[in-house]
Structure 1
Amino acid sequence: MDPRFGLDRSITLPGDFPLAGGAVLPELTIAYETYGRLNANATNAILICHALTLDQYVASPHPRTGKAGWWTRLVGAGKPVDPEDWFIICANVLGGCMGSTGPSSIDPRDGKSYAKRFPVITISDMVTAQARLLDHLGVQRLAAVIGGSMGGMQALSWAVQYPDRVGKVVAIATAARHSAQNIAFHEVGRQAIMADPMWAGGDYPPDKPPAAGLAVARMAAHITYLSEAGLTEKFGRRLQNRAAVSFGFDADFQVESYLRHQGLSFVERFDANSYLYITRAMDYFDLAQPHDGNLARAFAGVQSRFCLVSFTSDWLYPTAESRRIVRALNAAGAPVSFVELESPFGHDAFLLDAPEMNRVINGFLLS
């Protein structure tokens, strides 16, 4: 296979992997995909960090759904992150369900899946696992780390945890901490999963997951990725395959049908326990907390250049969150550029057709 078009891999690293919460995993498996080639000086590596419900298939077809990679608008031939120029790495996060160690993995100590016995993880743990992967790949320093949403949290954490290993950071539609509102939405999703009788305390068989609960969790979360203007433009109050309301509880409206489809399709590619653990990791995220709540102090030792991007209609991670990061970086004396882009598509704007964002990222990587 031509390495420019994706090599799907995983590695298992033996030995203890300590976690921020105090627990220890007996081994670590990281599933990842690469594009392009590492140059002779190992100076062209870019790490792309994925968001909550995404995975390592950033620019190649998903093996379960057959859909194109989730960021082919940014990564690919002729795009800002071109495998002809860069060695691109994207790993499934710790706690995920596409090959990396997570709750559906087998615990080598007893041969049974971890399920609810899997220890609670953090964004910091995800980044540490990625650093182990880069060590294995022979990448000591990254030209850039790029991520949106939860991926942006990882990108910021990379600059703080491994300041001498990161040249540039692109953090898109993200925050330096999870807000009370976002924690609340995540709790609704978790409770939907755990209220499903099929969840069985987390010990459900792979072929009988808590599909109803997970679908509802996805529906609730998906609303936060959109905007009122976007929903109104796309669906309004238009009815779904009918001339009048049914006076019942079928999906009368197009928006209802859309959300139900999103929920059902999500169940086919994601694990319910992984959803619990990854949302919890996001809730715990607060870069300033270990520094007495002072975000500028968290950034005091960074050696990276930063590019922050937000979108006008993103109410999940609004522009105010990016401005807070920019102010802290300025206070820490770190070089940072920032742009707020006009978009009606809400939080998901970074995944959609965003030529202005591409121009910003391309210019930043080449500067």
Structure 2
Amino acid sequence: MSVPRRLEASFRQSAILRCPSLTRRPRLPISQSPAASTRQQSSQALRKLHQHAPRKAQQAAAVEIEPDFLIPEPTNPALSFPCLDAVESRSALLSRRSFAGPEPSYTTGNHLNFHSHQPLLLDWGGILPEFDIAYETWGTLNQEKNNAILLHTGLSASSHAHSTEANPKPGWWEKFIGPGKPLDTNRYFVICTNVIGGCYGSTGPSSFDPSNNERYATRFPILTMEDMVRAQFRLLDNLGIDKLYASVGSSMGGMQSLAVGVLFPERVGRIVSISGCARSHPYSIAMRHTQRQVLMMDPNWARGFYYDRIPPHGGMKLAREIATVTYRSGPEWEQRFGRRRADPSRPPALCPDFLIETYLDHAGEKWCLEYDPNSLLYVSKAMDLFDLGQEHRNRINRLRQENSGKLQAFLDGRAIPSDTSDDICNLTLPDRPYEEKEQEAAIDAGEVETNDSHEPPPDLVAGLKALTNTPTLVLGVASDILFPAWQQREIASTLKRTGNKNVTHIELGEEKSLFGHDTFLLDLENVGGAVKTFLG
């Protein structure tokens, strides 16, 4: 809406009265005015400083007004934001490329595929009518089929743990698998899968729903670690493997490895859980929550229906940067980066400036188009829901029993009963906001449960009772901030409390490893050596 001329004149007169230094001068073409000349010089100097053109948004903000008085120059020039320019440029590029098909394709090369025609009932009531499991193998399955090791992945890893003839690209555990290595392929038949919910060949949100041949997107059902394990055991059934020699996993894989022992204790001989936990704790839940939030707030996420459009690469980049902060450690970064800046000769900038910032920026940029954003949401949520305590297991078992009718209806070709609650997926906030309480007051009110820090929770002891007779290696890293070493101590002490006499607990101090949570990917000597010794 335009401003009436009379009001416009009034505004100008008022401005002059408030600022006597604004004296009227003859009108000049803007390009010839002293102010424009100064602005042009400042802009040129700024471009030279950052080697990047100012953002179009900044140029557009400098609206050309026909002034009757001189507009004072700002004290300082505006900063440039090459990091934001890069995100905008990538969006523009992806916008042009989206006409050619989905972006990106998410693949790591050739792999094997198992297709289950039988439906899978999930813990929280969802149903997968059929599903694919992408997997790769190394070594030879012996005649008795008793030398198989199931290797579980971290959150964003594919089945490509080691190079194969079909896919010679190095895998994420390349140095740990092979003849004479910790997972010795002269002795063992190693199987690694991409979890359901993932995007590297297994059925996930980017897959097509067979009922309507449309992408699941956020119509994909909520998953749990146990759902992923049940799908893996469908593959083992297909391969004719009744009992695993061992279940091995790190990070999220360490959680799955324990879940194997709880769900199928009679089908696994040994358990290896590295940098994992028996239940997710608030800190790791909080960090994954923030990753999901920045991703979901990217406008390109579009409630999960971004396929064949511009993907939410900006949100994914930020999510990965947050994750990277938790994957490595302070001591390592102190040695690698310290407080050094990328270019001390330049003035400080709000874009990546310190070496650690440029490292995080690179990590996010490299990964933001390599993994399906919806898979990140679903798989990370499954990690949050992980709890092997007996109370939680009882609740899930009751829920599965209640939902068994859904599965039978599907098998019978009848309409699947829908949830009757209209707000089943809605968050209901309390009437009164959460308030911090003083510790003494909370204790006096009897609202805080006290427990000896050396005594495992009884609920967890009951939940892990199935592992009483299963030899287990639990390995933790002191510099790990995402899965702190006390969580592995909790697993070990809980297993011992169940009566398990074959628990091996190893904790790598900072003198042995400064790599934090990522130690399991990097430390062949300490992590690999412990695994090799335990497997015998």
Q: TM-score, normalised by structure 2?
A: 0.65
> 1:339: which partner in 2?
506
1:248 aligned residue (342, 346, 349): 349
* 2:111 is aligned with 1:8: yes
* 2:442 is aligned with 1:277: no
Deviations 1:255-282 (A, max 9, x none): 1111111111112320000000001000
Displacement of 1:312 in angstroms is 1.3
Deviations 1:18-68 (A, max 9, x none): 00001111101100011111000101100000011112111127999x852
Distance in 1 separating the partners of 2:177 and 2:246: 14
> 2:461: which partner in 1?
296
**Where does 1:42-191 land on structure 2 (aligned, <5 Å)?**
42-60=145-163, 68-191=170-293
- For the aligned residue pairs, the C-alpha RMSD in angstroms reads 1.9
Judging changes above 3 Å, is the alpha-carbon distance between structure 1 residues 280 and 62 closer, same or farther for their aligned structure 2 residues?
farther
Displacement of 1:247 in angstroms is 2.9
Distance in 2 separating the partners of 1:114 and 1:63: 29
**Which residue identity lines up with residue 154 of structure 2 in the other structure?**
A
Distance in 1 separating the partners of 2:110 and 2:352: 41
Distance in 1 separating the partners of 2:205 and 2:110: 25
> 2:40: which partner in 1?
none
> 2:388: which partner in 1?
287
Give the percent of matched residue pairs that are identical in Structure 1 and Structure 2: 41
Deviations 1:75-103 (A, max 9, x none): 12321112121100000001000010100
**Which residue identity lines up with residue 521 of structure 2 in the other structure?**
L
**Which residue identity lines up with residue 332 of structure 2 in the other structure?**
G
Which sits farther off after the overlay, 280-289 or 206-215?
A: 206-215
Distance in 2 separating the partners of 1:98 and 1:78: 28
Deviations 1:216-261 (A, max 9, x none): 0010011001111111111112222x23343322321111111111
* 2:499 is aligned with 1:365: no
Distance in 1 separating the partners of 2:529 and 2:307: 46
Deviations 1:279-329 (A, max 9, x none): 100000011032697111112122421000011111211111111111111
Judging changes above 3 Å, is the alpha-carbon distance between structure 1 residues 52 and 206 closer, same or farther for their aligned structure 2 residues?
farther
Deviations 1:327-360 (A, max 9, x none): 1111111221101013111111111033022221
Displacement of 1:7 in angstroms is 7.6
**Which residue identity lines up with residue 325 of structure 1 in the other structure?**
I
* 2:85 is aligned with 1:18: no
> 2:78: which partner in 1?
none
Displacement of 1:159 in angstroms is 0.3
1:32 aligned residue (120, 135, 148): 135
Distance in 2 separating the partners of 1:310 and 1:361: 12
Judging changes above 3 Å, is the alpha-carbon distance between structure 1 residues 7 and 87 closer, same or farther for their aligned structure 2 residues?
farther
Which sits farther off after the overlay, 266-275 or 147-156?
A: 266-275
Distance in 2 separating the partners of 1:214 and 1:63: 30
Q: Is the radius of gyration larger for structure 1 or structure 2?
A: 2
Q: Could you say what secondary structure the match of 2:176 adopts?
A: coil
Structure holding more strand per residue: 1
1:233 aligned residue (335, 346, 360): 335
Q: Could you say what secondary structure the match of 1:167 adopts?
A: coil
Q: Could you say what secondary structure the match of 1:56 adopts?
A: coil
Q: TM-score, normalised by structure 1?
A: 0.94
Distance in 2 separating the partners of 1:170 and 1:224: 22
> 2:21: which partner in 1?
none
Deviations 1:194-234 (A, max 9, x none): 11111011000245210000110010011001111111111
> 2:99: which partner in 1?
none
Q: How many aligned residue pairs are there?
A: 359
**Which residue identity lines up with residue 23 of structure 1 in the other structure?**
G
Determine if contact 1:210/1:272 at 8 Å carries over to the other structure.
yes
Q: Which has the higher contact order (CA 8 A, sep 6+)?
A: 1
Determine if contact 1:7/1:34 at 8 Å carries over to the other structure.
no
**Which residue identity lines up with residue 124 of structure 2 in the other structure?**
G
Q: Could you say what secondary structure the match of 2:476 adopts?
A: strand
Determine if contact 2:111/2:166 at 8 Å carries over to the other structure.
no
1:353 aligned residue (523, 526, 532): 523
**Which residue identity lines up with residue 355 of structure 1 in the other structure?**
E
